[in-house]
Amino acid sequence: MSQNPITPWIKTTCAYCGVGCGVEAKPQRNGALLIRGDKSHPANLGKLCSKGQALGETLSDTHRLKFPMIENQRVSWDKAISTVAEQFQQTIAKHGPDSVAFYLSGQLLTEDYYVANKLMKGFIGSANVDTNSRLCMSSSVAGHKRAFGSDSMPGCYQDIEAADLIILVGSNLAWCHPILFQRIKAAKAQNPDCKLVVIDPRKTASCYDADLHLALANGKDVLLFNRLLAYLADNQLLDHDYIEQHTQGFEATLQSAQQDKLTLEQTAKQLQISPVQLKQFFELFGHSDKVLTLYSQGVNQSTQGTDKVNSIINCHLATGKIGQPGSSPFSITGQPNAMGGREVGGLANMLASHLDFSDRNCELVRDFWRAPQIATRPGLKAIDMFDAIAEGKIKAIWIMATNPAVSLPDSHKIKAALAKCPFVVVSDCVADTDTLALADVKLPAQGWSEKSGTVTNSERRISRQRRVTTTQGEAKPDWWIISEVAKKMGFIHGFNYRHEAQIFREYATLTNKAHGLSQNALVLGDLADISDSDYYRLAPQQWPVNRLQSQMFHQRLFADGRFNTDNRRARLIPVRYIASAQTCDQQFPLKLNSGRSRDQWHTMTRTALAARLCQHQPEPQLQIHPEDAAAYRLDQHDIAEITSVTGKALLRVNVGKEVKPGEPFSTIHWSNSNSSAGKISTLGKAFIDPISGQPEMKATPVSIRRYSPQSQALLVCRQPLARLESPYWVKQTIKGGFCYFIASELSPGLLNKSLKALSPYQQITQVMAESPQQQCYRLAQSSQQQVQFAYIVSEQLDPSHHAWFAALFNDQDELSTLLSSLLSTEPKGTLAEGRIICACKQVGEKTLSCAIKQQEVKDTATLTTLTEAGSGCGSCIAELEELIKTVYE
Ligand SMILES: Nc1nc2c(c(=O)[nH]1)N[C@H]1C(S)=C(S)[C@@H](COP(=O)(O)OP(=O)(O)OC[C@H]3O[C@@H](n4cnc5c(=O)[nH]c(N)nc54)[C@H](O)[C@@H]3O)O[C@H]1N2
Ligand SMILES: Nc1nc2c(c(=O)[nH]1)N[C@H]1C(S)=C(S)[C@@H](COP(=O)(O)OP(=O)(O)OC[C@H]3O[C@@H](n4cnc5c(=O)[nH]c(N)nc54)[C@H](O)[C@@H]3O)O[C@H]1N2
Ligand code: SF4
Ligand SMILES: [Mo]
């Protein structure tokens, strides 16, 4: 790729997780986009994980939604905007403001979010605006509000380097927030006394560097932290001065924590961990001065999510380990702008700018927006919102930047609700999602690299996302689309925006006014008067902001022990462990946990466009303990059929002791767009936390059986297949095309016939090897010295074939080598490299195994020096360690 000396590197922010890494991007003449980490960004100091590094590879124009569509016909923007405005107006006129809703996303920019919230709450006069953050952070929001009086996260990333003890609760940081995990590793290397404890039922990649892993039984975090509080009290490890001066509710909270009256041994038994480990954890917490507890979805996505959050915060408050260097409870946000959405009021139970719906707050925002119709009470939260659609109470919905037909629990129900809803609008930047398939109106939004605005990361730091490429098709910024609809609905004075900076200033002004009323920490001070050019240049700012901050500035909240409650004291909240209402029984005896894989982002609409991000886990996975595997007669790489009360899914089996018996784990990323039955949200029923409304997503009762196909196939093609009717198929993007994993009820001979019929190239050169006796069929079609279409079919396929098969389009080998590999199913040439383990440096299993054997490598550092694997983002290091172990087994 030639470097373009003229175009400068443009600073922006990563599109994915809540770490909020600074990125530098440089467009190339050939249309490519070079990407590197921004060394001056305080979140990542120049590093990027595999997903961040591959950002430039996800900008393909073939997958984009480029034009507004009504009933799948292209229309002008004018027509699309008028239709949306008219349909919403008519519905409101007939059925009232609460008959319409917006469902938003932590992947919108703050400016988009602000305008959407203003339109729905301020001008339409309903608070039916909620967001996918309900599935993600709402238990943390509710926990923060109960304890601190506002949704404010006290710490900052510098706490990682300052801590003596770092605890990860329900967080697979190594895969989900890799750059923070790398900061922890570096901090531990710098300070060998710094300890890492992981609290997760599963042994994850984050456990490889941990000093202690508490594999507690799913759901029992409150029991653990309550017992910790009782232990700290029993052993004089509390900070009574802090408790007296800065908190309230301590006595009742301790009493509640002690109510279980469990000994350490009894607690350990309930948690299914060893008493020695439990005591070790308690002592570490009690005797470390600086304790940082990072928590994520293992905490939030639970019917007791808010209580889990408060049980953690209680321990920090009772020991004064909060708001100090190296000490805080620290909720790690998932999406790039989940924080921004929470700030502007994207959740149905908040009004705007961290204000709730009190009379004086409504008055303030009403006057500020000049919006007499303003909603004065909370609206429907996500799960209730979709129930209301199913019940016909909501008759028009506008979904932006989220894919609820995949990500909400009980997806059959969600699909049925949207199919029945009289008017569904979806704004997205890609053309094919399960949700778009249900839209009456599709609106093309600018995607990352085209859009411009701000996002707030986990440590309250606001960074600019900048426009670095031109826009594809007729896509528009989300804020523009919403404002145009608002104006068409007659709300002209409130939405006459010409530039995102204007919206940002208005929002910043509102934070200042809200701060005057509530003393909330969210305040943007001088940013309210920022000029357009200063907004363009804006360096990261961490709220609260008074004056413009310097690049590396950092601060903590509540350092002075004064919180955002009326009396300025933090609240300890009495909590008790309550078992989830989702219980296993004879019919559904296993509890299905779910979560993320390393290189995919959610429903894969963007990460699946980059071939290198699809190599790590090309199929939806079911991790299952060997005991369960034996009980259900499952072998490694079998396909399992998972059934719950709401649906079924088919997933590839991965047997291992990383999960507990009875608690298998599945990946969340696959949908109907890329698999026949890999969507696991078909399995979940919505059980919510009564305080936050967040659904439980990590404890679904299921049953499992082996799916026994008659035949299996691997197929590569240059273009996606138009139709594929096999009960099991999964599509993977590979370099130069696509690879399909197929399992079928047909005999191998019949599957061979049906796959041959799918080839778009009936005329070009083809080679075949058929062995009906062995039920094995292979076909390759080539033209212009390249393989164009190929497959292998047999009764059973050895999964090790996949790595070389999916490399058939790599074009590094001669056609003859490729064809002979294919016909003999023995990889030759570069195909023999095997599965790629390091996505950043593209290092495969074979290179690694050879290096380990030949150089007698015993540790990952040496392996990295020899092969470069692990020298990118480092999130493959756990796998390198596993590989070293396997080679010596
Ligand atoms: N690669 C990648 N990174 C991502 C994302 C992605 O899609 N892909 N998504 C982003 C988003 S939006 C989010 S919200 C974050 C999520 O980040 P994480 O929360 O770290 O990710 P998950 O894999 O959903 O779940 C974390 C862990 O919770 C554990 N867990 C399950 N039940 C319990 C329990 O009862 N107690 C405890 N203590 N642990 C439990 C699971 O075993 C799992 O390992 O990741 C962000 N980063
Ligand atoms: N079982 C189970 N389910 C889960 C979870 C789990 O752990 N287990 N996790 C939950 C969590 S934490 C989350 S955050 C959700 C995530 O779930 P979703 O939000 O549904 O997932 P995404 O794939 O990120 O969807 C984002 C959509 O927005 C589009 N998009 C991207 N940028 C833009 C933009 O600028 N404008 C517009 N208009 N569109 C854009 C993308 O193409 C994509 O279609 O999933 C939840 N669901
Ligand atoms: S850790 Fe990775 S995904 Fe998250 S912001 Fe940084 S580069 Fe992006
Ligand atoms: Mo999330």
pLDDT per residue as tens digits for the range 38-58: 999 999 999 999 999 999 999
**pLDDT on residue 5:** 53
The CATH architecture to which 836-888 belongs is: Orthogonal Bundle (1.10)
**Hey, is 471 helix, strand or coil?**
coil
The pLDDT of residue 1 is above 70: no
- Furthest CA-CA distance within the chain: 84
**Looking at the CA of 429, which ligand is closest?**
2
Please list every protein residue whose CB sits less than 6 Å from any atom of ligand 1. 17, 136, 169-172, 175-177, 199-202, 204, 218-219, 221, 296-298, 334-335, 593, 595-596, 598, 600-602, 698
As assigned by CATH, the class of the 590-707 domain is mainly beta
What atom in ligand 1 is closest to the CA of residue 202?
42
H or E stretch at 179: helix 178-190
The pLDDT of residue 3 is above 50: no
The pLDDT of residue 331 is above 60: yes
For ligand 1, the distance from its centroid to the CA atom of residue 60, given in whole angstroms, is 28
Residue whose token pair is 């900061």 = 183
d(CA 886, CA 863): 14
Was domain 138-331 assigned CATH 3.40.228.10? yes
The answer to whether the Cα torsion of 2, 449, 20, 498 is positive or negative is positive
For 707, what's the count of Cα atoms within 13 Å in the CB-facing half-sphere? Answer: 27
For ligand 2, the distance from its centroid to the CA atom of residue 806, given in whole angstroms, is 27
Banded model confidence at residue 201, pLDDT cuts 50, 70, 90: very high
The pLDDT of residue 426 is above 80: yes
pLDDT per residue as tens digits for the range 829-883: 777 777 788 888 888 888 899 999 999 999 999 999 999 999 888 888 888 998 8
Three-class secondary structure assignment of 127-140: CCEEEHHHHCCHHH
pLDDT per residue as tens digits for the range 480-535: 999 999 999 999 999 999 999 999 999 999 999 999 888 889 999 999 999 999 99
d(CA 332, CA 311): 16
Residue whose token pair is 């919505």 = 686
Q: What percent of the chain has pLDDT over 70?
A: 99
As assigned by CATH, the class of the 64-135+337-452+467-497 domain is alpha beta
Mean pLDDT of the chain: 95
Q: What own/partner pairs with CB < 8 Å and gap ≥ 24 does 764-767 have?
A: 764/788, 767/819, 767/822, 767/823
What atom in ligand 2 is closest to the CA of residue 406?
20
Q: Could you tell me the residue ranges of all domains in the chain?
A: 10-62, 64-135+337-452+467-497, 138-331, 590-707, 711-833, 836-888
- Whether the bond between 620 and the residue before it is cis, its omega within 30 degrees of 0, is no
**What is the third-level CATH fold of 10-62?**
N-terminal domain of TfIIb (2.20.25)
For 627, what's the count of Cα atoms within 13 Å in the CB-facing half-sphere? Answer: 8
pLDDT per residue as tens digits for the range 714-733: 999 999 998 899 999 999 99
d(CA 103, CA 80): 19
pLDDT per residue as tens digits for the range 340-377: 999 999 999 999 999 999 999 999 999 999 999 999 99
What atom in ligand 1 is closest to the CA of residue 302?
35
d(CA 144, CA 173): 21
Which mutation among 398, 428, 435, 454 tests ligand 2's pocket best, with the greatest number of atoms within 8 A of CB? 428
In this structure, the strands spanning 590-595 and 836-838 are unpaired
Which mutation among 105, 139, 337 tests ligand 2's pocket best, with the greatest number of atoms within 8 A of CB? 105
What atom in ligand 1 is closest to the CA of residue 173?
20
